[in-house]
């Protein structure tokens, strides 16, 4: 069943947006700063995915875009916050495929767009602003209906491209880790709409890597994300024609929501420390909304003695640095 699912995964249609594997860096100086009980630390640099300013959304969009093209879409519609990395990546993907992109975003309008909002416009996306995150889905439906009435063929990409196909696109990234020769015991990453974590869990199971995947939440409570990730894994198994076990659904889904602080995008003392420490020890830039909190979680786990010094921990850098310039 694993072999069938793996074959389906590797042949899943995709639009190659970023054709090169991302590097895996060794975090020697960060490890030294965290003391002798710190495990070996590595970082998978998906912030360096060579398209549209990179980040985890590029992997998911490669398979989702193939789905959209197969459906004959001429317009992509998606949603997010005003500084959404996913919206920016979708805007870039649409531009590169000659598709129109409509972004439904919530937030306070900016007189002079910054960060991802600036990039959305640079990539030529049309932006429709709504007041709250609850208004996004109905507005996407309204935009889709409006476009259909004009004779266009819109394709709606749900929040974060965290669909089973998007998550399966992410699972492919695990092959790059194995090819690099690293076999981590633990993978730590930022989680929010669940697609990245579902992809990592499925990828580990399919490529035969027995690693604990720890998602550090940027906003949602753990139980909500765990349910979301479980549903995604069920659908991935169905889509790839594998058993539930083949995509790792029988393993515990670990989400740590202890690093959110006051809320989404609001820095904490720990996230500021993590962002600063990684910049000053490694010359690597994290983002303030997702990866700084995820790194704060990793550092917190090291300090609490939750890893053994003999283990290998891979931090999956999911990008998002445009958020620093928001
Ligand atoms: C930079 C960054 N890291 C991590 C995440 C979380 O990924 P996911 O939504 O797949 O859980 C996101 C998006 O939400 C993101 O933009």
HEC sequence for 161-184: HCCHHHHHHHHCHHHHHHHCCCCC
3 state SS of 80: strand
Nearest atom, ligand 1, residue 199 CA = 10
- Tell me how far apart the alpha carbons of residues 154 and 175 are, in angstroms, rounded to a whole number: 32
- Tell me how far apart the alpha carbons of residues 270 and 300 are, in angstroms, rounded to a whole number: 8
- For residue 59, being part of any structural domain is answered with no
Containing structural domain, residue 227: 2-54+163-325
Query: 133 and 278, same structural domain?
Result: no
Query: 86 and 22, same structural domain?
Result: no
Mean pLDDT (the chain, rounded): 97
Which tokens go with 1?
């069943």
Helix axes 56-70, 164-171, angle to 10 degrees: 130
- What pLDDT, on the 0 to 100 scale, is given for residue 213? 98
Query: 279 and 177, same structural domain?
Result: yes
Q: Is the pLDDT of residue 35 over 90?
A: yes
DSSP 251: S
Query: 139 and 111, same structural domain?
Result: yes
- Over residues 306-312, the mean pLDDT reads 97
Residue whose CA is closest, atom 3 of ligand 1? 318
- What pLDDT, on the 0 to 100 scale, is given for residue 217? 98
Tokens 């027995």 belong to residue:
210
Residue 267 belongs to a domain with what CATH number? 3.40.50.1100
What does the pLDDT look like over 141-189, one tens digit per residue? 999 999 999 999 999 999 999 999 999 999 999 999 999 999 999 999 9
β-strands 154-156, 75-81: how paired?
Answer: parallel
- For residue 157, being part of any structural domain is answered with no
3 state SS of 305: coil
Query: 41 and 188, same structural domain?
Result: yes
Query: 140 and 168, same structural domain?
Result: no
Q: How many domains does the chain have?
A: 2
- What pLDDT, on the 0 to 100 scale, is given for residue 277? 98
- What pLDDT, on the 0 to 100 scale, is given for residue 2? 87
- What pLDDT, on the 0 to 100 scale, is given for residue 295? 99
Query: 321 and 196, same structural domain?
Result: yes
Query: 168 and 78, same structural domain?
Result: no
Last residue of a domain, one of 124, 152, 180: 152
Nearest atom, ligand 1, residue 55 CA = 1
What does the pLDDT look like over 67-93, one tens digit per residue? 999 999 999 999 999 999 999 999 999
Share of the chain above pLDDT 90, in %: 99
What does the pLDDT look like over 199-249, one tens digit per residue? 999 999 999 999 999 999 999 999 999 999 999 999 999 999 989 999 999
Mutate which of 83, 190, 286, 294 for ligand 1? The one with the most ligand atoms within 8 Å of its CB, which is 190
Phi, psi of 319 (to 5 degrees): 85, -150
CB atoms within 10 A of CB 131: 11
Nearest atom, ligand 1, residue 190 CA = 4
Mutate which of 53, 81, 83, 85 for ligand 1? The one with the most ligand atoms within 8 Å of its CB, which is 85
Last residue of a domain, one of 152, 184, 210: 152
- Tell me how far apart the alpha carbons of residues 288 and 272 are, in angstroms, rounded to a whole number: 8
The order of strands in the sheet holding 40-45 is: 24-26, 40-45, 312-317, 186-191, 212-217, 254-256
User: pTM of this prediction?
Assistant: 0.98
- For residue 65, being part of any structural domain is answered with no
Query: 320 and 173, same structural domain?
Result: yes
- Tell me how far apart the alpha carbons of residues 20 and 270 are, in angstroms, rounded to a whole number: 33
- For residue 139, being part of any structural domain is answered with yes
**How far apart are the CA of 151 and the centre of ligand 1, in A?**
33
- For residue 314, being part of any structural domain is answered with yes
Phi, psi of 249 (to 5 degrees): -70, -20
Query: 78 and 176, same structural domain?
Result: no
**How far apart are the CA of 149 and the centre of ligand 1, in A?**
33
End-to-end CA distance of the chain: 46
Query: 169 and 148, same structural domain?
Result: no
Last residue of a domain, one of 152, 181, 204: 152
Question: CA of 113: how far to CAs of 27, 76, 143, 259, in Å?
Answer: 34, 21, 22, 29
What does the pLDDT look like over 103-135, one tens digit per residue? 999 999 999 999 999 999 999 999 999 999 999
Q: Which residues are catalytic?
A: 84
Q: Among 207, 285, 200, 217, which residue's Cα sits nearest to residue 25?
A: 285
- For residue 110, being part of any structural domain is answered with yes
- What pLDDT, on the 0 to 100 scale, is given for residue 212? 98
- For residue 131, being part of any structural domain is answered with yes
- What pLDDT, on the 0 to 100 scale, is given for residue 196? 98
């Amino acid at each position: 069943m694993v072999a069938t699912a793996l074959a389906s995964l590797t042949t899943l249609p995709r639009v190659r947006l970023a054709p090169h594997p991302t590097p895996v860096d060794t975090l020697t100086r960060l490890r030294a700063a965290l003391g002798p009980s710190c495990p070996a630390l590595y970082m998978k640099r998906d912030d360096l995915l060579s398209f549209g300013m990179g980040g985890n959304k590029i992997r998911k969009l490669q398979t989702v875009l193939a789905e959209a093209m197969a459906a004959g879409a001429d317009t992509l519609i998606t949603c997010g916050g005003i500084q959404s990395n996913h919206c920016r990546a979708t805007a870039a993907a649409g531009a590169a495929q000659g598709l129109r992109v409509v972004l439904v975003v919530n937030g306070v309008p900016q007189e002079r767009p910054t960060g991802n909002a600036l990039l959305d416009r640079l990539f030529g996306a049309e932006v429709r602003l709504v007041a709250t995150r609850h208004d996004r889905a109905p507005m996407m439906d309204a935009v889709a209906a409006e476009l259909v009435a004009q004779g266009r063929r819109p394709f709606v990409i749900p929040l974060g491209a965290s669909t089973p196909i998007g998550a399966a696109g992410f699972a492919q990234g695990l092959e790059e880790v194995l090819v690099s020769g690293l076999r981590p015991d633990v993978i730590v990453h930022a989680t929010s709409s669940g697609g990245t974590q579902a992809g990592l869990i499925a990828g580990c199971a399919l490529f035969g890597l027995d690693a604990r995947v720890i998602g550090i939440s940027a906003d949602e409570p753990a139980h909500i994300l765990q349910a979301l990730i479980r549903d995604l894994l069920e659908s991935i198994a169905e889509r790839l024609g594998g058993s539930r076990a083949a995509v790792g659904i029988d393993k515990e889904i670990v989400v740590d929501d202890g690093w959110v602080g006051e809320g989404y995008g609001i820095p904490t003392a720990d996230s500021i420390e993590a962002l600063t420490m990684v910049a000053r020890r490694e010359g690597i830039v994290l983002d303030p909304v997702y990866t700084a909190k995820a790194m704060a979680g990793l550092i917190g786990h090291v300090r609490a003695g939750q890893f053994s010094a003999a283990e290998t921990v891979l931090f999956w850098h999911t990008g998002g640095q445009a958020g620093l310039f928001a």
